[in-house]
Structure 1
């Protein structure tokens, strides 16, 4: 269930095995299907599986369930991480779907432009890179930095430091992109 959660999409048994070293077959598959936690269907010679809404709720509950008996050292460590994840999501007022979601269509450049459009009141407004990175829902820091550098070549795209350095939070400092010896905290994209 947690492997399906982590991928947040339909997975075939061969793909599930290749990515996570496990298969969902026979009795286990039927059990999860009967509980309504996983939906499975036959495609070609193998099954594909996806979490149902009920399965997502089970995973959310599992974050705070506490470690099961005889979990072993790896199980204990996993449940410690799950509990920490639960605390983070609660503080951020987010749910599992905000963290685990299928890869979105479109290039990262397109996703950055779309996130900017959602965050800015109008074209040309300045938005924080902190908010932008949060909206990109876990896109790799390196890839976002590369995409921002690419976009910065467009004359309508501007990156700038925040003039009020004292007001910056640690999150703002962490989200900054260093270009030309300056830490840039803000993004503006002019009208098309």
Structure 2
């Protein structure tokens, strides 16, 4: 990773892209986040491969790259703000350091943190008017009787796509077979499976060859997007 210093605005832009966890229009940085990323700074971040720039000349769209995710993780652990960042900078870096300690203690990656924070708040979930009126209702975290778990669905999808055990399967092809499930549940199941012997999530070796469909289907593990999965014979 480059050791080139970033300005507070450049660092702030990276942290905003992290928080948004997806493509952000360049104009939105200024209008919605009060972070005006001027052309020289945008080109600098692109040159350092910390962001990816797409869209049209009149509507640029910025996305945090894999290197950008790693740079954000180092900012969390920095502990002290850059000179001249003022009280807001001091407060920001105090919060970032606290977040870094939490992630370290919980052994969570930034990607896992972002995925978890995308889950709906409890007050946004539907509530049954009278739970006692529903006999033998399964618990919220348990599948209904004879209903396959998310992990079982993912395993089944892999074996439908793979010609044989050990084949690399594009996560985009796997997701097509379980698209009735919530993405956050699928991602969590993939991470749990990744910890099993014989199951491995891997990134696409040739990043330049990634198409939009494969990139969108990736699951982030350890701050790195993984695009393929392989499973040994059980």
> TM-score when scaled to structure 2?
0.49
Choose from 104, 107, 118 the match for 1:90. 104
Is 1:158 the counterpart of 2:138 in the alignment?
yes
1:141 pairs with 2:141: no
What is the RMSD computed on CA atoms of the aligned residues? Answer: 2.8
Deviation of 1:82 after TM superposition, in Å, equals 0.2
Kindly tell me: are residues 158 and 136 of structure 1, through their superposed partners in 2, closer, same or farther at Cα, counting changes over 3 Å? farther
- Partners of 1:155 and 1:44 in 2: CA distance: 59
SS for the counterpart of 1:24 is coil
Distance 1:155 1:40, change over 3 A: farther
Match of 1:15 in 2: 28
Alignment match, 1:56 = 69
Provide the residue aligned with 2:193 in structure 1: none
Distance 1:187 1:51, change over 3 A: closer
1:71 counterpart = 2:52: no
> 2 CA distance for matches of 1:44 and 1:2?
23
- Separation of aligned partners in 1, 2:37 and 2:128: 42
Deviations 1:134-186 (A, max 9, x none): x675432312xx33548x68666434xxxxxxxxxxxxxxxxxxxxxxxxxx7
Name structure 2 gaps, 5 residues minimum.
Answer: 1-13, 148-234
Question: How far apart in 2 are the matches of 1:3 and 1:54?
Answer: 15
Query: Which runs of 5 or more residues in structure 1 are unaligned?
Result: 102-134, 160-185
Residue 190 (structure 1) aligned with residue 144 (structure 2)? yes
Question: What is the number of equivalent residue pairs in this alignment?
Answer: 131
Give the alignment's TM-score, normalised by structure 1. Answer: 0.58
Aligned-residue offset at 1:48: 0.3
Asked if 2 retains the 8 angstrom alpha-carbon contact of 1:5 and 1:56, the reply is yes
| Cα distance in 2, alignment partners of residues 149 and 27 from structure 1 | 54
- Where 2:138 maps in the other structure, the secondary structure is strand
- Structure 1 window deviating more from structure 2 (91-100 vs 20-29): it is 20-29
Q: Does 1:38 align with 2:18?
A: no
> Quick one: structure 1 residues 39 and 147, their matched pair in 2 at CA, closer, same or farther if it must change by over 3 Å?
same
Q: Distance in 1 between matches of 2:72 and 2:126?
A: 33
1:27 to 2:40 alignment = yes
